[in-house]
Chain A
């Protein structure tokens, strides 16, 4: 049976980059970029990725949107794509990406590949959540999410392997991050964790074919949760940060949790879900606290991305010695030696947190890892 590969090209993604505009969100920026002579990058990159799939062209049906949103790139790479019926305006908008994701997902595909940046990833996440495995071809100015392959070439290769593999296809959760572009243009960096998409698991890079599997990550997260729970004390309030690794702790405790929010636990009972800074400070008024946070994949952020609720005041109240960082070994190794990062919003707190942290990577298992700001 032919495998179905969804394709969305965001033709304006990355357009601001070459002319130094730090992003391409918003019609004014797009206009400014085009006036400054910007040339769309993403169609070429999509084509580069599709080149890798060409040997298997007969076995793959590409499902895409008309014109610059995928049809052209697919045709240029020698495919005869199935094109969804729609009418495109001259300049595509985020709504177009969302509509495309919805219609391609409804048609039914094994994998949805997109060429774009963090904005595009966010649009796809908004439209279809993590219902379909997704793989990003890096083409935007902002590449903070963990949903992309390293290059268009490796995106093509990874997609081919994923579609070709028989039996269970392995996927993993990857962060969808985006920064506030208005702030970024004024040289202030502020990012948010929007959610998680399922991406193909790249076996070749981290583990050998015989050892790698999706279940490995689940088992490791469960072991990390065991470690944290075994060492829980009765006197501390546990502030559990966002992410799938920390969610495993709540899951093992049999408690509800929020994936993107900050939850709190006391004596293994739920105290609150999705708490903000003032609520956290309130809870810490008469109790000692511990903070359990994980690492943003590919970026290495521990504070300041997706968990701003754990503010400098909360961190200071709890104290450095009561911060527990959890992460799978794969995630740490995926940082390729780059340090963990703290960007709490307060330079003094950042400096205090710098140094070395014993990251919990399994039951009774730690890796000493460098933290910098």
Chain B
């Protein structure tokens, strides 16, 4: 049966080291990119503070998680952070709404060019960066608890008799489930509810939307709340999956922007597709295929090197390359977003 087990083992290997990580990372990017794309569609600027919004929400969630843990509250197999997340969302949404009132609204009312809003978002980024580092410090924080795995490598091997094991982490399963639910909810909201329709109309044509009696303040408010919620959830899931470090969240900005642009900026569906495109490219280009090929190729053909297309050190280069390719070939993105 080796002619069948070998390719199967190879597939399991890929599922374990490429499919699962890329799916969960892609979901996290998609949630982040949705926030960026909504802000861009409604408020018409690229929000450089988005990574910090994620970090801020995650920080609040972590602090509440620690508080709950110290009271002995837990969710059993699920991470306690899920219980703490609503508090994080509320705090982040409040923060975003306040920054909008204090900072962005002034420029919006004056119809300043988008680049001024971008620079203002850099100022907000500095402030949030300072707050996050001031409160929780610049170091790595781990806050995952509960079960670690849904499927363990050893159990999988025993169950199937394969030599390769498949592990599915709770954080990965959770990320994918939450992302799917959130995306469904968001699309239902945008397509079916009055406020959602108002948001889409506003994004499409601001003047026309204003003429038909849409309240711009309300649209902006809802947009910030949604973006902040998505950012907090994405940040918390990312932190559960890997770990929380403020600087890493800042660096997520690039893949998130890349995801939003690849999909077509201003297009929610594009942000989701873009998130997965970026995540899969990143993981697939930086994965070492040696073991995979060992399973598939006859002994004499087996590779000696790692067969890694790109060192993991250059994962940011992948986002950038995708950006450049999209810019050169289809500047509007896959789903014909706004032409920047």
Q: Do A and B come from one complex?
A: no
Residues on B facing A (Cβ under 8 Å): none
**Which residues of A does B touch, CB under 8 Å?**
none
